[in-house]
Structures are given as structure tokens and as C-alpha cells.
Amino acid sequence: MQLSKKDVLERANKACKNTLMETLNIEIVDFSENYLVARMPVSPKVHQPDGVLHGGATAALAESVGSFASHIFIDTEKFFVRGIEITANHLKSVKEGFIFAKASFIHKGRTTQLLDIRITDEADNLISVCKLSTITLPKNKE
């Protein structure tokens, strides 16, 4: 049975319950074979003391969307995905609204994956550029 895009998004967001993604109100909003998009609200909950988006919250969004992108393309009965390295370059501050993270595959190997993650605001301004490496491993080795 082929699932609709709506069904896949509902299942993905349901899997995020009781996780950091739920704590940060991260919601997966779109995907295709080569990318995944999530959004996160910017509010005092994710601010630095001076009232702008905390870079750590941005990195958490990037790692969440990138790892999830790798996750949805594997056999989760046999394998699991872990982030192994992330870099983030923060380019612009945000105080409110939503930010969007689009994770696109640069390399989609059987064992390792490399993703480019662009964080933008609601006006499509580039906020941060991140790179995430993930690894896929057999579940019996965890």
C-alpha cells in the first residue's frame, strides 16, 4: 500500500512525540525523494538572553531535519541512523516568526549520508547554512 504525502507527514510528526523535536515545536512540513523540510517557531523559548534565536536551537533543528531525512529512506526494522558531525554557519538573526530547515542530500550512501541544510525565515532570507553527516548502522550493533 502506497502512503499519501499527508499520511507520511502525519506518521513522521507522530514519531516526534516526547522528543526534543516536540519540545522545540519542530514540525515536518514537506519531503520528496531528495529533501525534507521542517519548521520551528522562534519565540522566547528558543532565544538567547539578548532576545534573538539561539544558534544551538538552530543546530538542533538542522540535526533533527537532516537525521530524519536519512531515517525515512532506510529500513527501520533493520537499521538506525545517527548524526556523526554537524557544522553550522549563522548568517542572520531572527527574533520571531518561523524558520524553515530544508535538508537536501549531497551524498546518499548505504552507510554514510551527507546533507546540506539551509535555514531560512518566512521571507526566505538565509539564516544559517549547515552540513550534517549521518551514519546508518545495523540495529544489532547498537
Catalytic residues: 63
Q: How far apart are CA 115 and CA 133, in angstroms?
A: 6
Q: How far apart are CA 69 and CA 36, in angstroms?
A: 6
The DSSP secondary-structure symbol of 39 reads: E
* Torsional class of 42: left (φ above 0), alpha (ψ -120 to 50), beta (otherwise): beta
* Cell 535555514 belongs to residue: 119
**Is residue 98 helix, strand or coil?**
strand
CB 66 within 8 A of CB 84: no
Three cell numbers at 13? 510528526
